[in-house]
Structure 1
Amino acid sequence: MLICALVSGLVPLTVIKGAGSEFIPLPAGQNATVADFHSIRTNTKDTPSYFTSGFYKIEAGPSRPAHYDFEETKYILQGQIDILDEATGITHHLVPGDFAFFHVGTKVQFSTKSSGFAFYAVTRPVKAAHPNLQGREEVTK
């Protein structure tokens, strides 16, 4: 089947198996981390860019500032992630099912009173390829 797809000009999808929160420990002395697990240089004709996806994990502790020079989306999967939007002064309390979009120029502070886990997609190359998520691409024959 794969050979037929390649011959016809179609490109097969990439599937990452078993990429869950249990595989993403926090670095020593830190209460938050990103875990990039897939990145490509896009083939978009109008404006080629990077497209990277991964997970964001945060535990109670100091707030984590972020100033965006790329676009990002976050979709909350577990817990709660609080985001202080410095442009408005509003703190958003995001829970599973909530979605946030960060524009270029957005400045925020992430925090939580317990823990939070989110999926993200960004328009930047990999910053920190997470070793526990490498090699989890599904093998097709």
Structure 2
Amino acid sequence: MGALFSRVSKTSSSTEKMAPVALKYYGQAQSNYKPPLIANENAYLGDVFSSEKENPEKPISAGFYRLEKGTPLVYEYTYDEMKIIVEGEFNISDETGQTVKAKPGDVFYFPKGAKITFTTETYGLAFYTGQRKQGAA
């Protein structure tokens, strides 16, 4: 199975194998990772992993966003991001007037420039991946 995952680089006259690249793993991150407070008294966000060191030109970062009942979070995206709701519920709206009651399993794409308002009546937890440097949210 190791050969299936090897990386190959083609040169003009031959094929040479590159050194193996290790995966990164955070077991049970949905329950064990606690994102830090980022805004208001109730909005938490933290990157679990980022590709910034391996790919500084086009990094992606991924982690968890948690919102508890309280102040709405209004956020204008300066990068493209995707989120999947993993626990709880959010009310998510944009400047076009579109509003969605988001539940576990729902997937969202927030394009660069979108201004999004997040609220919740209880709490919501989402996993995201964004095309940005680590900590640049």
TM-score band w.r.t. shorter chain: 0.7 to 0.9
SS in 2 for 1:20: helix
- Distance across 2 between alignment mates of 1:57 and 1:12: 29
Segments of structure 2 that go 5 or more residues without pairing to the other structure are: 8-15
1:60 to 66, 69, 81: 69
Percent identity between matched residues is 34
Q: How many residues align?
A: 123
The residue that corresponds to 2:10 in the other structure is: none
Higher strand share: 2
Per-residue CA distance 1:76-116 (angstroms, 9 max, x = gap): 00010111111x11211110010000001101111101110
Offset of 1:35 from its aligned partner?
1.1
* Partner of residue 92 from structure 2, selected from 79, 83, 87: 83
Give RMSD over aligned pairs.
2.8
Question: Aligned-pair distance for 1:26?
Answer: 5.7
TM-score by length of structure 2 reads 0.77
- Larger Rg, first or second structure (1 or 2): 2
**Which one scores higher on RCO, CA 8 angstroms, separation ≥ 6?**
1
Task: State how far apart, in whole Å, the 1-side matches of 2:72 and 2:31 are.
Answer: 20
SS in 2 for 1:97: coil
Match of 1:121 among 110, 129, 135: 129
Q: Is the 8 A contact 1:21 1:117 kept in 2?
A: no
Find the counterpart in structure 1 of residue 79 from structure 2: 70
Deviation at 1:23, TM superposition (A): 3.5
Q: Structure 1 length as normaliser, TM-score? A: 0.75
| 1:8 CA displacement | 3.8
Q: Does residue 1:27 correspond to 2:37, yes or no? A: yes
For 1:103, the equivalent position in structure 2 comes to: 111
